[in-house]
Chain A
């Protein structure tokens, strides 16, 4: 895919770890420049040492803050000379039965997983319009297509993100912006690791997760990033408003 993204400028939220980080790596390898946004300052520092400076813009901040998002978007667009694409990879999980879920926890999940991408998309659209079009890829979840037990807030927030993506796809098509969602299953990330470690029997929890998927394994972040790049590339120029499951066969969407 080398060169497929030459001169393309992509904003990635949650760029410091997991799927976001895998996307940054792939975009850079394919010739893009990337504006990275994350609340994890250490992870951003690591990005800065791993990649060529001219290809990166780093912004520290939180997707739950409209000001942080706006500032990061302006900084990224300024550093890269504009923006052609957005990837919303920032997300958090919550494994909790409903009766034990507090209002704060519920709102916290939605603030990151649904309000976050909304803020990022809203801030990015003027730049994408200026560029004459572009792409948005939102990382939803298989749990937004087919529910997971003890994840009411998480599943609802990810389902919401899919419909947000589709509704925005209608509106953004008018100025040449395609909006799609990707629905990963379990992915080898810090997020999955902490959910598994929190279980009473982590080994059994891991096996239970693995067994959900027809391919009988957990994905590498890079396998999700591959689909993100395809949906961000001209190869998918007639694809908009889809929710593509990259889940080793669980949801069969």
Chain B
């Protein structure tokens, strides 16, 4: 299949949590379509792989913790000094703390705070960093929700709350930024083959596959394709929406 070539030539894209999984999938896709990308991830290794696979002048990668407000402000400053203002922000970073997940009545407030911080507040912080310039020159903000927002999985109260929070944030910010030519949308992936996914027990994956009409688990590239569509001129009339990419598991 021929991919749309050079669709993001001249565009500056900022992607959080870009070192692996969906974030890395988005980074590769934007890079292969001509964008220059500013990438942040806690882990250096994944970023190094992306940096070595593409020309150095296309990539600005910083290893830092996305929950550290001063570190992300410094990242935003260095990225815009090098490339110019951000055209497209992909708020991808997020974590379910599944290994620490448990029943709500025994849950730990520190875990809630961690999950809300990394999966919701980071999106708000990064958006606030890029919003002033986007109000002057337009732009695109893409937020990562999850089908967990709709699924009501037991033991994932904090994550579901954060991911439903992303949807409220998306809608409200979409209305606020619409007059300035900025669209704000979310995608809600279902089961996607990532590192986090690899830690889920095989029996759970089998059950999810059985519940998925498409009959297979998606790839990061499936989500990247949707993100790139929503970030493109093709989707300029779409704003405030949440697009499920889940092989038909929820259909809501």
Residues of A within 8 A of B (CB): 1-4, 6, 166, 169-170, 173-174, 178, 214-216, 219, 223-224, 226-227, 229-230, 234-242, 244-249, 251-253
Query: Apart from A215-B183, A224-B237, what 8 extra A-B contacts exist at CB < 8 Å?
Result: A169-B251, A238-B214, A238-B245, A240-B213, A244-B241, A245-B241, A248-B237, A252-B175
Contact status A214-B244, CB under 8 Å: no
Give the chain B neighbours of A234 by CB distance below 8 A. Answer: 1
Q: Which residue of B lies closest to A167 (CB)?
A: B251
In contact, A248 and B225 (Cβ under 8 angstroms): no
Is A242 a contact of B215 with CB atoms below 8 Å? no
Point out residues on B near A: beta carbons under 8 Å.
Answer: 1-2, 4, 171, 174-175, 178-179, 183, 190, 213-215, 218-219, 222-223, 225-226, 229, 234-248, 250-251
**Chain B residues near A224 (CB, 8 Å)?**
237
Report whether A238 and B238 are in contact in the complex, using a CB–CB cutoff of 8 Å. Answer: no
B246 contacts across to A, CB distance below 8 A: 238
Residue of B nearest to A3 (CB): B2
Instruction: For residue A213, give the distance in angstroms from its CB to the closest CB of chain B.
Output: 8
A252 touches which one: B225, B237, B241, B250 (CB < 8 A)?
A: B241
- Min distance, Cβ B4 to any Cβ of chain A, angstroms: 6
* A230-B234, A236-B225, A240-B247 as given contacts; A173 in contact with B214, CB under 8 Å: yes
> What are 15 sample pairs from A and B whose C-beta atoms fall under 8 A apart?
A6-B2, A170-B213, A173-B214, A214-B174, A215-B183, A230-B229, A237-B222, A238-B245, A240-B213, A242-B251, A244-B238, A245-B240, A247-B237, A248-B178, A252-B240
A166 CA to B252 CA in the complex, in Å?
9
Q: Say yes or no: B236 contacts A223, CB within 8 Å.
A: yes
What's the nearest-Cβ distance from chain B to residue A42, in Å? 29
Closest 4 CB pairs of A and B: A173-B213, A241-B251, A214-B178, A238-B222
A226→B244 contact, CB < 8 A? no
Q: A235-B229, A249-B175 are in contact. Are A227 and B238 (CB under 8 A)?
A: yes
Q: How far is the CA of A166 from the CA of B244 in the complex (A)?
A: 13
B243 touches A238 (CB 8 A): no
